[in-house]
């Protein structure tokens, strides 16, 4: 269950196909990257990138959650804004993702969980494993300093999350998987 979400689309008149015209927002949850659609309260002010409470009690801006939606159901504008929202969430949850790097385990003799992160590669993965044995990573900046060839950790995680949302992955590391899909946490 998500408590907070980021607004990635605001449709003041709802979808063109909807019979009932009411303001609708498309959201991405901060914990499980759940894509949601919701209606807003009549006098609520909504802007793209806004963090809104979507939990069970006393929602200031959100009237009700219409339901979980798939990536394909997002508007084109929401799809454009989504990568920025994901990066924002990854940056605010830095400790969680650094902990993921510090605690990722092998899945089999040949495959490690870190293999699922785009752009890591074998050499960077081996460097990550060596460095975290010496001393656990403390931040994204620490990872970048100790392994300069790795690229931007925020982008690495954001790209993986976006790929999971788009349904391009068999394993779900960060996104709440659709019904019937495999999950690994």
For 48-107, the pLDDT digits (tens) are: 999 999 998 899 999 999 999 999 999 999 999 999 999 999 999 999 999 999 999 999
Query: Which pLDDT band, with edges at 50, 70 and 90, does 127 fall under?
Result: very high
Is the per-residue pLDDT at 110 higher than 70? Answer: yes
Question: In the CATH scheme, what is the code of domain 4-75?
Answer: 2.40.50.140
Nearest to 11 by CA among 73, 60, 93, 85: 73
Residues of the chain with CATH 2.40.50.140: 4-75
Q: What do you get for the CA distance between the two ends of the chain, in Å?
A: 16
Is the per-residue pLDDT at 129 higher than 60? Answer: yes
Residues of the chain with CATH 1.10.150.280: 93-165
Task: From residue 99, give the alpha-carbon distance in Å to each of 32, 69, 94, 158.
Answer: 16, 29, 8, 16
Higher per-residue confidence, 141 vs 13:
141
Task: From residue 16, give the alpha-carbon distance in Å to each of 8, 65, 118.
Answer: 18, 19, 37
Is the per-residue pLDDT at 163 higher than 80? Answer: yes
pTM summary value = 0.92
Say how many C-beta atoms besides its own lie within 10 A of residue 104's C-beta.
Answer: 19
Question: Average pLDDT in the 140-155 region?
Answer: 96
Instruction: Residues 93-165: name the CATH superfamily.
Output: AF1531-like domain (1.10.150.280)
Question: Average pLDDT in the 35-54 region?
Answer: 95
């Amino acid at each position: 269950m998500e408590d907070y979400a980021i607004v990635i689309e605001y449709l003041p008149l709802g979808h063109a196909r909807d019979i009932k015209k009411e303001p609708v927002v498309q959201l991405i949850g901060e914990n499980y990257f759940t894509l949601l659609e919701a209606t807003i309260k009549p006098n609520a002010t909504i802007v793209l990138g806004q963090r809104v409470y979507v939990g069970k009690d006393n929602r200031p801006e959100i009237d009700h959650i219409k339901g979980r939606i798939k990536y394909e159901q997002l508007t084109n504008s929401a799809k454009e804004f989504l990568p920025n929202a994901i990066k924002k969430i990854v940056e605010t949850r830095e400790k969680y993702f650094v902990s993921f790097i510090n605690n990722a385990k092998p899945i089999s003799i040949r495959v490690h969980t870190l293999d699922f992160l785009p752009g890591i590669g074998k050499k960077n993965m081996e460097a990550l494993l060596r460095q975290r044995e010496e001393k656990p990573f403390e931040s994204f900046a620490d990872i970048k300093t100790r392994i300069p060839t790795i690229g931007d950790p925020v982008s690495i995680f954001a790209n993986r999350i976006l790929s999971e949302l788009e349904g391009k992955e068999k394993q779900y590391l960060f996104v709440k998987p659709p019904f019937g899909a495999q999950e690994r946490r």
